[in-house]
Structure 1
């Protein structure tokens, strides 16, 4: 609500202007948003789409991933990337995570590459980017496409570069819970490659470059103009909000680092803290104690992807990815918001300290 009050004038102007001109899908504001998003992270092309999941699917299609191919990704993430790999008939191959950052462990990456490997999708978990210099170097050796999954990291930085600009192609989602969130589903793909950008633009409109002339098998994934107006208004204050989120994250860490396992942010990274996630013993008990004090928490993710029933055909048994499995039993996300006051945060900190005694 605090954020909405800050941008109410811009929101109302954009929404009423949309009602006046009546271009509800791919209106002029959509293309303006694409320009501003591309400029923000420093790439040539932004291709807006209907959701973050669509962005992943379209990226895979643009990379020519197809049935019988393999795509390496993380088992400790939301299912969207793995699901879209499986959806097009390819095989998700999971590489275990780094126990400190929860991102894909680059030391295990090369051993997972086979002649069938086509691409790598590293997930930037909890707002921190994976080690892209190492990942890109390995991918270049084996001529693989790297698709940055920036769904949780839009607004983060890696070695002074913005998340979303770190690979040949990237994708993100703008669901309401994200640091930059729409008022519904929305997403985008990013690239510096003119040919990939052109292909993505065709794929999002049923594979057509001109009306009723379909060159590719695509889908319908167009960003509606109302969501573009929301994101344009939010983008104006987004840099300040990222700074505020970092301050909240730093305050949490300073106060809790001797009580629980706090996030480890690599020296070359700046996290946007899409979530602030700690590790605790007896997680359910800690959650119950916090809930009794009116403090909401979340568990992302309680079951690693290789153990999900939908992906059981991959036959990766329990114990095969021990770091992801261990983290899934211990992680707990605390309230995180750019508008969390020091007083509100101190109440949370005190409650956590009391809960883990």
Structure 2
């Protein structure tokens, strides 16, 4: 495919790669996000359905796009009561996925974790050419061009002395000695005995990659290479105790303070120490199974033929298998021969007549009294 793209000098909307490459959003949902993002601030104060109506998205088409935006975190809705016992629906729309907690903070008018509120300064007007000073960033911010939403893996660590201050994102110098804990106390003991150089232990290397990837989950937890290497020893202990890398990342990123994290390195050092899981209990080795019973002793077979030995499968057996089968064949052959030699029983009519005749004779003797005398 050949492509020729000419960048527009003015009147364009900058869209993040994370939105363009978002596979869970359809084309209608993406167009709706870009359309609302490119509107002047005065034209955004409408319900999302009205913006969709301007794009001729109605009916099932709009409902499908709205469902995708709600599921992906670009749209959040909440029903609230107003004066007079009526209800209203408050929508928080962003060009970057927000969690429920971040959307609630934005509705309350406070900055969400890692994001700034929309600037209230002068914004570009709807005139052409655009008039006015540029406004602040949209709610949610954008990921760098080489990063995509949903990935947790970090880039390979750079050299330790190649500008770690720039990686902090705020230009603050590193803390030379102790680590400030989440409650402000000095925690210099967190770095005692930890390696400053890359370790050959696999747990330490995996822990360092997990610490460097936290910035993809929470921007407040951005660490430099030296800071991650300093905390890698504490994080590696979690991995040695059976915690997976995904569970370690989830434990460090969840439940952040409402007032925000003052220092990422101090907060993580405090959490790594305080939430360290218990060492797995040593499971005793299973007892070996009992030895199998010895095979039964050989005994002489009582069958015909030459004397031979066999192991009885039951205590009362006296013949081996072949001899036992021969005895069974001989027994049933003899029983069948006796059955064939026996006379056939008389037909049922004769047996019935004999039974009836015997019953008549016995009945006559009972009624007539003594033999030889006639009835009076």
Q: Normalising by structure 1, what TM-score?
A: 0.24
Q: Which one has the bigger strand percentage?
A: 1
Larger radius of gyration: 2
Q: Which has the higher contact order (CA 8 A, sep 6+)?
A: 1
